[in-house]
Structures are given as structure tokens and as C-alpha cells.
Amino acid sequence: MDLRYTDEEEHFRDELRTWLSGVLPDVPPLPEDHTDLVARRAYDTDWQRMLYEAGYAGIHWPAEFGGRGSTPTEHLIFLEETERAGAPYVGVNFVGQLHAGPTLIAEASDAQRSTHLAPILKGEHVWCQGFSEPGSGSDLASLSTRAIDDGDDYVVTGQKIWTSFAQVADYCELLVRTDADAPKHKGITWVIMPMDAPGIEIRPIDTALGAGEFAEMFLDEVRIPKSNRVGDENDGWRVTNVTFAFERGTAFISEVISSQRLLADLAAVATRVTRRSGTAWDDAGIRRELGRLDAELDALWSLTKRNVSQAQRTGMVGPGGSVFKLAYADVRKRMADLAEQLLGRAGLAIGDTLDLSDLDHVGERLYTLTLTIAAGTSEIQRNIVGERLLGLPRGDR
């Protein structure tokens, strides 16, 4: 049990810091208009390209697939340092980097790997995730988008929903039903869908934040070559679960660091908010909640290190990912409540906190709503923890 980093790890960190401090001054700020996904894509892929050229793309991918082949600990250091330095986040490259890419590495054919992996690393191809459907969210395995066998192709018809960044994606990791008669988990296939294939219609959906991050996808007899299938026909559920393990493992590491920054800013806000006498900071209840949240974020950082150490030893991200996600969502929602309490009427607009803060605490408060929904709701995470970690019996669904 040793939380200190080895000399090699520290060396990796130093090199990264030097590189970041060299390039970040020239990286422009995020585009102002967060509804402009084309600009967002250009911004995020430019950063991906810079990472690629510096040898930091696909940090956790094996070297034989163009990655850096770093250890999980180095990956942790990378996420920590880039976030601390205020570097751009993975953004539209999320699915390619953290879902589709790792799944292709684990499950795809050599031909598929050589077509797709390098362009993901270079920021040339953006991927999206076409899993959820209007009738199949938590019960994902009930999905009904149909793939009809037609010679060398599947002909796919159905509807997907909540597909983040579909509007600007080149490829989609798509789940389709290839056997309608088999039990629901046994008739699903994982395919690569080029987003320029005829028959795809995309309709953006406005989020509660007023941005167009996700979309509905209508598929009308879209032809997908069978050579785009990853894994065996009807084995897509297993392939999907490979993806989920990656998703829960690393998705929120950077967010712990940015949450610490938000919390420190909330403490500063507390010292600025005037009350009838003195400031909000004079309220011991507020100070205690700030201190508790500080402690909990600190503990979540330690839990992250535990999960990373486990991955380093076993190569797997266990149910620790679900535990982390549940606890993290809870902390962030309490931070949001505290922000609401502190801002008072300064919380009535997004982007104007009456000079109390430069950070977007109101937008962040809305964002926390997604933390108990996206990537498996908290109810579903609790089912997973209760059944897989504690061995409690399954009930009615």
C-alpha cells in the first residue's frame, strides 16, 4: 500500500507538464457558443491531433495499436495533469477514445482495427454510441432496431435516441437485433455504422441546458456490410459489456479534479455572499458542508487510486466503477444544492452570477442532473452493486 508515485511515474508527469505548459498558451478557449457542434468538433479534434503528434493519444491503448501503452497509473496521471492544467477535455472524442476504440482493440478483426484505430487517435474520425432506443433505455437488451440479413449486408431499420454528438460523428457503434426469436440478450449484434450511409436521419434534441448535445437517429433500411460486424452475430451483448467496463472505469477521473476546483470556488463565493450581518461563510452549517464535501472528494480521489491499482494488477475494472459513480453523483448533487443556497438570486441566470464567481455554477447544477441518468441510471447501478457485489437475489424487473 503506497500512494506515492515511482520515479518513472514522476518522470512521466514532469514530461507531460513541460509539454502542457509549452502548448497550452496557444490553445484557444472553448468556442463561446456551446450549441455549435461543428465548432466543438473542430476544437476537440484539433486538440486530439496535438495529443497524437506529441505521443499522448491513446495513452492507455497498447502500443501495437498506435497507443502509448501506458500503465493505468500513467493514464491516471495524464487525466489529472491535463485537467489541472486546464487543457481541453476529451469532448466529442469520448466514444472513440473510451468506448469504441477499446472495444475494437478487444474484439475487432485485424482489418477493422487497422481501418479505425489510427483515425480515432489522430482526431480524424469521431464516433458516437447508438445503443439507447425510445423503448429501450435501462432495459437496453430489449432493443428492437432490426437488422435483416441480405447477402453481404445487414439492412437496418429502427430508431435510436440520446445519441450524443451524432450530428458531427463519422461512425457509430450500433446495437441491432439480428435474431428476433432468441431470448433478448442472445439476439443482439454490435456493428460499425458509417454515419454517411444512406437512410440515416438525425434530429437534434435540446437538452435541459439548452444545448444540442444529443440527437434522435432514425434508421430507414440502412445498408451496413457484414464485414462491419464486431464479434459474432448475436454475441453483441457480451461485446457491449466489454464497452461498459471501460466506460465506468475512467469516465469521471478528470471530473474529480474539476469538482475540487468548483468546490474551492464555492468556498470563495461563501466569503463574498453578504447576509443580514456578515457573510455566508460566517454560517457554521455552510462551512461544515463545504468541509464534508471537500473530504468526500478527497476520498473519491483515493477510491479512484484504488480502482486504478486494481486495474493495474488484474487488468479489469470491477464493480468499483459502479460504487464510484454512485458516490460521485451524490457528492456533485450536494455541491449543486450548496451552490443554489449560496447564490440565491444570483443563481437565476446561466452565465451571470452577479459578480460572485467566474465559474458557471448554475450550468454545473443543471449538468449534475445527468450524473444519475447517463451511462446507466443510479437505480440500475444500485441493482448492479446489490446483485453482483453483494449477491442479493434478483427481483421483478
Ligand X SMILES: Cc1cc2nc3c(=O)[nH]c(=O)nc-3n(C[C@H](O)[C@H](O)[C@H](O)COP(=O)(O)OP(=O)(O)OC[C@H]3O[C@@H](n4cnc5c(N)ncnc54)[C@H](O)[C@@H]3O)c2cc1C
Q: Catalytic positions, please?
A: 247
Give the C-alpha separation, 171 to 7, whole Å: 40
Residue 373 contact partner, candidates another protein, ligand X, none, CB within 5 to 8 A by sort of partner: ligand X
Distance of alpha carbon 19 from alpha carbon 7, whole angstroms:
18
Rounded to whole angstroms, the Cα distance separating 163 from 263 reads 31
Identify residues 271-290 at the interface with another protein (CB under 8 A).
271, 281, 284, 287-290
**Residue 155 binds ligand X, judged by CB under 6 A:** no
Q: Binding residue for ligand X (CB under 6 A) from 35, 142, 159, 164?
A: 164
The CA-based diameter of the chain, rounded to the nearest angstrom, is 78
Give the interface segment with ligand X, choosing from 42-50, 106-114, 126-134, 292-300 (CB under 6 A).
126-134
Pairing of strands 171-177, 127-130: parallel
What would the grid cell of residue 371 be? 450524473
Contact 231, 239 (CB under 8 A): yes
Shortest approach of another protein to residue 20 CB, angstroms? 20
296 binds another protein (CB under 8 A): yes
Distance CA 225, CA 309 (A): 40
Strand duo 171-177 + 200-205: pairing:
unpaired
Q: Looking at beta carbons only, is 155 or 323 nearer to another protein?
A: 323
Amino acid at 260: Q
- For residue 299, state whether it binds another protein (rule: CB under 8 A): yes
CB of 11 to another protein, least distance (A): 14
Piece of the chain touching ligand X by CB under 6 A; list 45-53, 157-165, 241-249, 255-263: 157-165
From 3-11, 82-90, 269-277, 377-385, span contacting ligand X (CB under 6 A)? 377-385
Among 295, 316, 348, 349, binds another protein (CB under 8 A): 295
Cell readout for 234 is: 448475436
> Any idea what the Cα angle at residue 379 is, between residues 136 and 127, rounded to 5°?
50
**Binding flag, residue 373, ligand X (CB under 6 A):** yes
Which range in 33-41, 222-230, 266-274, 334-342 contacts another protein by CB under 8 A?
Answer: 266-274
Per CB under 6 A, does 370 bind ligand X?
yes
> Rounded distance, CA 57 to CA 78, Å?
10
> How far is the first Cα of the chain from the last one, in angstroms, to the nearest whole number?
41
Q: Does 115 bind ligand X (CB under 6 A)?
A: no
Is residue 397 a contact point for ligand X (CB under 6 A)? yes
Which among 294, 295, 285, 300 is positioned nearest to 266, based on CA atoms? Answer: 294
Q: Is 316 a binder of another protein (CB under 8 A)?
A: no
Instruction: Name the residue nearer to another protein (CB basis): 193 or 263.
Output: 263
Q: Report the residue from 117, 161, 300, 336 that binds another protein according to the rule CB under 8 A.
A: 300
Provide the residue type at 265 as one letter.
D
- Rounded to 5°, the CA angle 218-44-131 comes to 30
b/e map 264-297, b = 16+ CB within 10 Å: ebbbebbebbeeeeeebbebeebeebbeebeebb
Q: Where does this chain bind another protein (CB under 8 A)?
A: 1-6, 9, 73, 263-264, 267-268, 270-271, 281, 284, 287-292, 294-296, 298-300, 302-303, 305-306, 308-310, 312-313, 320, 323, 326-327, 379, 381-383, 385-387, 389-396
Residues contributing to the site for ligand X (CB under 6 A) = 128-132, 137-138, 162-164, 214, 370, 373-377, 379-380, 383, 397
